[in-house]
Amino acid sequence: MNLVYRFSIVASFLGLWITSLLPESFELIFGFILIFSFGMIHGSNDIMIVNALNMPKKSKPFKVLLTYLLVVSLAVLVFYILPSVALGLFVLFSAYHFGEQHWNTNIKSWSNPLKRLFFFSYGLLVLFLIFNFNIESVKKIVIDITGVAIENFYAQHTIIGAVTILITLTGIHAIKQKIDLKSILKELVSLLVLIVIFKSSTLIWGFCIYFILWHSIPSLLDQITFIYGDFKKKNIMKYTMEALPYWIVSLIGITALYLFFKDDKHFYSLFFAFIAAVTFPHAFVMLKMFSKQSQNKKSTTV
């Protein structure tokens, strides 16, 4: 994971350097290419994870696929009927999911309620840092999705609240020696890097750098290890090939969504709506995966 961490930092600054050389139009195209490749693949194999969770009893592929598509379709429908509610849920689900992926390894020994509060607070901090540095772009997307103009997102208030919770929980567990100083310093460096990236980038590019380098790639590593037992080249290829059909279905889905709503909604809005629709089942599946990993670790230490 240290190699992934170093790669994320170097690649983040490389991404920042790219923004200083290339026009914004190319930046957006490249950002969407990365999101539709690495980003979408990391969330495409939920059905494989469900099968791994149910081992040795294998789930019925058609039943699992139908359930998954039903949940995604329901999320898209909620975005169409109750866009404000759906957008709020997307932020809440994403915040927890991002925090869980980023911190799960470092705070395994914490009690579940405090651990979940920490996950949520960290993810909320990251999201509202992105919002805070791109507030006008966020306002445009929100009004395009919901039809409601929100003048104040209280981004700075949310950031202060999240930081307060994170510092308090980290301090308590540092005293109890349930988190080491090295992890704290490493994550402070990570946050400083992300702040520089978010402040210097557009909304899409800043989100892309975080979503791909700091979330999707570490998530892919965890998923491959969970499904196949280790992270080897043959397992990476196997994962990619098995994810391919679901990835193609996802691309067809976003294309169909765009063609259906292109006269009513801006592409950015449709893009975030689709990402949100896929996030709901994915966040739940990953929650179950991390819980299973924790249970397996406890059983092996008993």
Q: How confident is the model at residue 299 (pLDDT cuts 50, 70, 90)?
A: low
Give the chain's domain count.
1
Q: How confident is the model at residue 60 (pLDDT cuts 50, 70, 90)?
A: low
3-state class (DSSP) for residue 54: coil
In this structure, what is the dihedral angle of CA atoms 15, 19, 24, 30, given to the nearest 10 degrees? -20
Query: What average pLDDT is seen over the chain?
Result: 82
pTM for the structure as a whole: 0.86
Average pLDDT over residues 187-213: 90
Please report whether residue 155 resides in a domain: yes
7-11, 171-175, 212-216, 260-264: the lowest-pLDDT one: 260-264
Average pLDDT over residues 137-150: 84
Full residue range of the structural domain in which residue 147 is found: 2-296
Contact 124, 166 (CB under 8 A): no
Please report whether residue 301 resides in a domain: no
Specify the pLDDT at position 302: 46
Please report whether residue 258 resides in a domain: yes
Please report whether residue 280 resides in a domain: yes
Please report whether residue 302 resides in a domain: no
Please report whether residue 28 resides in a domain: yes
Cα 109 to Cα 102, 205, 243: the distances in Å are 15, 35, 32
Residue type, 208: C
Using the predicted structure, report yes or no on whether residue 300 has a pLDDT greater than 60: no
